[in-house]
């Protein structure tokens, strides 16, 4: 931004006949335009002098985006669904799946917080069954204590404990109900002393969202989507991603009660007995008998296709914010190239919208 003296020097001829107050007004208008304001003066009478107001008609100041860019070309439901799958901790309200059929459903979330400890040989972990987190009377999160003696991931056994979420729904009811996972994220961070900090954290999701087999760390890392990072005090996460038709369809409650721990954050090479915090956040839709607070789930087949297609080629990290930003940048290209009935202009829309961040403030 130019200083007042530089601005007046550049416009000396244009403002030659103006008073000092009028020149000050021009410089204030210039400052406003350089800050990205889009509001025009309420009337031309407010502009003194005959010279045009600088900046207001330049492309730089046309910051008002067309309607298609408000949600990057997606419906609200599709955009929130994408965010629930990549960064479920940064949502205002409950998301939904933009399926082909519009149904009224009960939308709710659940959370579980706790700590886990590194075992006697430097291994510790926390694992989650996304479906079971929907029920407050089922053990859905499994973690290690300082007595854990395994050399990798073991599904239960000595030195492990199980926890439950604060879901408003119980699985013990005989009512006929069905549900589906909208999003599930699990994250950890180191909570011990700095002297004992060490090792690496590995985020792993079973490729078909099924029960993880007992495995050592090298075997877990053979999954292309496994991500390994040094242990620090930042949050590191793993998120649910649909892999089968089963994952986006409504399933009867009795069909999902068999535990399948499909998401894992495991720490290797750390100091025995050191402590980590964990947090699990999940979102669901439920239909069936005796449900209140039903809201409509939107139908957006194109948005659903964009979300699933983009995620299928996206290599995740352990940073939820980074995952969402990376996916939203790629979504426009997916829409233009993979979906023949969506114009190529959508690709530009996504890119411009991504450049007009902060994204998080738009939701």
Place of tokens 């009935």: 341
- Calculate mean pLDDT across residues 328-336: 70
Same domain for 152 and 270, yes or no, is yes
Claim to verify: residue 47 and residue 147 sit in the same structural domain: no
358 preceded by a cis bond (ω within 30 of 0):
yes
Radius of gyration of the chain (CA): 26
| pLDDT in the model for residue 61 | 37
Residues in the chain: 363
Burial class from Cβ neighbours inside 10 Å (0-12, 13-18, 19+) for residue 150 reads buried
Please list the residues that pair with 252 across neighbouring strands.
Answer: 178
pLDDT score of 280: 97
State yes or no: pLDDT of 351 exceeds 60.
no
**Do 138 and 148 meet the contact criterion of CB atoms below 8 Å apart?**
no
Q: Which residues of 76-93 are buried (b: 16+ CB within 10 A; e: fewer)?
A: bbbbbbbbbbbbbebbee
The pLDDT value given to residue 131: 97
Per-residue pLDDT, averaged over 32-38, amounts to 58
Is 205 in the same domain as 339?
no
Domain boundary among 296, 318, 348: 296
Residue 47 burial by CB count (10 A; 0-12/13-18/19+): exposed, middle or buried? middle
What is the number of domains present in the chain?
A: 3
Greater confidence (291 vs 3) lies with: 291
Domain boundary pick from 296, 320, 336: 296
* pLDDT score at 72: 53
Same domain for 179 and 45: no
Q: What is the pLDDT of residues 90-141, one digit of tens each?
A: 887 889 999 888 889 999 999 999 999 999 999 999 999 999 999 999 999 9
The percent of residues in the chain predicted with pLDDT above 70, rounded, is 78
- The 3-state secondary structure of 15-46 reads CCCCCHHHHHHHHHHHHHHHCCCCCCCCCHHH
Structural domain containing residue 319:
65-100+297-363
Q: Higher model confidence: residue 37 or residue 339?
A: 339
Q: What is the pLDDT of residue 63?
A: 38
Query: Average pLDDT over the chain, rounded to whole?
Result: 81
Segment 220-247 shows an average pLDDT of 91
Question: Are both 141 and 290 inside the same structural domain?
Answer: yes
Model pTM greater than 0.95?
no
pLDDT band at 336 (very low <50, low <70, confident <90, very high): low
Are 330 and 354 contacting, i.e. CB atoms less than 8 angstroms apart?
no
- Ranked by mean pLDDT, the top range of 51-55, 170-174, 346-350, 352-356 is 170-174
Judge if 216 and 85 occupy the same domain: no
Other Cβ atoms closer than 10 A to 124: 30
Under a CB-based contact definition with an 8 Å cutoff, are residues 267 and 220 in contact?
A: no
**Angle subtended at Cα 219 by Cα 217 and Cα 223, rounded to the nearest 5 degrees:** 110
Return the pLDDT at 88: 92
Q: Is there a single domain that holds both residue 53 and residue 71?
A: no
**Domain check: are 326 and 350 in the same one?**
yes
Looking at 275, 296, 317, the residue that finishes a domain is 296
Claim to verify: residue 197 and residue 315 sit in the same structural domain: no
**Domain of 241: which CATH number?**
2.60.120.20
pLDDT at position 341: 53
SS3 category, 194: helix
Same domain (yes/no): 118, 219:
yes
Does position 315 have pLDDT exceeding 60, yes or no?
Answer: yes
For the segment 169-179, what is each residue's pLDDT rounded down to a tens digit?
999 777 899 99
Percent of the chain at pLDDT > 90 equals 48
pLDDT higher than threshold 50 for residue 193? yes
Q: Are residues 244 and 120 in the same domain?
A: yes
Predicted confidence at residue 37, as pLDDT, reads: 46
Answer yes or no: do 95 and 116 share one domain: no
What is the tens place of the pLDDT at every residue in 54-103? 443 334 333 343 333 445 567 888 889 989 999 999 887 889 999 888 88
């Amino acid at each position: 931004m130019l200083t007042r003296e530089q601005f007046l020097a550049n416009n000396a001829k244009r403002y030659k006949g103006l008073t000092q107050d009028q020149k000050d007004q021009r410089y204030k208008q210039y400052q406003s335009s350089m800050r990205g304001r889009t509001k025009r003066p309420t009337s031309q009478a407010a502009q003194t002098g005959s010279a045009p107001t600088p900046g207001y008609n330049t492309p730089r100041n046309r910051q008002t985006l067309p309607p298609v860019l408000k949600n990057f070309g997606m419906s609200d439901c599709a955009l929130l669904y994408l965010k629930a799958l990549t960064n479920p901790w940064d949502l205002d309200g409950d998301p939904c799946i933009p399926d082909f059929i519009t149904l009224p459903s009960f939308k709710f979330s659940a959370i579980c917080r706790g700590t886990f400890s590194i075992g006697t040989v430097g291994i510790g972990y926390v694992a989650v069954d996304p479906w079971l987190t929907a029920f407050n009377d089922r053990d859905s999160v499994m973690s290690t204590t300082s007595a854990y003696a395994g050399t990798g991931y073991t599904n239960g056994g000595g030195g492990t404990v199980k926890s439950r979420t604060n879901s408003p729904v119980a699985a013990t009811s005989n009512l006929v109900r069905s549900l589906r996972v909208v999003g599930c994220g699990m994250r950890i961070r180191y909570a011990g002393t700095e002297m004992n900090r060490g090792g690496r954290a590995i985020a792993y999701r079973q490729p078909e969202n099924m029960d993880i087999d007992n495995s050592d760390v090298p075997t877990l890392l053979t999954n292309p989507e496994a991500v390994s990072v040094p242990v620090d005090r930042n949050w590191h996460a793993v998120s649910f991603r649909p892999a089968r038709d089963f994952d986006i369809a409504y399933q009867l409650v009795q069909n999902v009660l068999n535990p399948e721990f499909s998401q894992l954050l495991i720490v290797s090479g750390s100091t025995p007995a050191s402590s980590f915090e964990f947090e699990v956040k999940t979102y669901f839709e439920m239909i069936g008998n005796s449900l209140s607070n039903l809201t409509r789930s939107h139908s957006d087949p194109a948005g659903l296709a964009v979300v699933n297609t983009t995620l299928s080629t996206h290599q995740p990290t352990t940073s939820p914010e980074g995952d969402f930003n990376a996916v939203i940048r790629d979504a426009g290209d997916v829409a233009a190239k993979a979906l023949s009935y969506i114009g190529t202009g959508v690709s530009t829309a996504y890119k411009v919208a991504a450049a007009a961040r902060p994204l998080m403030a738009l939701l």
